[in-house]
Amino acid sequence: MDVAIAGIISSVFNVAIIFSAIVAIIVVPRYLKAKERAELHKTIQAAYEQGQQLPPELITALTQDVKVKPKASPARDLRTGIIWVGVAVGLAAFGYAIGFEEPDATYIFLGIAAFPGFIGLAFILMSFIGRDRS
């Protein structure tokens, strides 16, 4: 009984570590970036209140950090669709490979692969429709 409890605790601990790592990879850089922006804002505000002029290098540095989302285009839709279809093919191949050990897993992974596959096909279809309108 002690071995079973230790196994459960170990499994829960492993899952917690994985999800904590994912959260840390996403949240920590955003937090640090927001903190850096707040400090920069305070510095600029203090300089403005004292009547100091901002150097052009600072303004250039601030504007370079802005990310602009590219416009939708048929070529972009086609690339996105190909990536989604590639993810679907990868999941299907993974399910096929696991199917040698566990035959029922093939159907599960084929079902999961259908979602990115149909999303990819929709993007590819949108790329062809967008070409007609351009």
Question: Confidence class of residue 1 from pLDDT cuts 50, 70 and 90?
Answer: low
Residue-wise pLDDT for 54-77, tens only, equals 777 777 777 676 666 778 788 999
CB atoms within 10 A of CB 124: 19
- Residues shown for the chain: 134
Determine the Cα–Cα distance for residues 3 and 63; give it in Å rounded to an integer. 58
Predicted model pTM: 0.53
User: What is the C-alpha radius of gyration for the chain, rounded to an integer number of angstroms?
Assistant: 25
Average pLDDT over residues 46-59: 80
Kindly state the DSSP code that residue 132 receives in the 8-state scheme: H
Please determine, for residue 133, whether its predicted confidence score (pLDDT) is greater than 80. Answer: no
Please determine, for residue 7, whether its predicted confidence score (pLDDT) is greater than 70. Answer: yes
Average pLDDT over residues 93-121: 93
Q: Mean pLDDT across the chain, nearest whole number?
A: 86
What are the residue ranges spanned by the domains of the chain? 1-68, 69-134
- The predicted pLDDT at position 111 comes to 94
- The predicted pLDDT at position 65 comes to 61
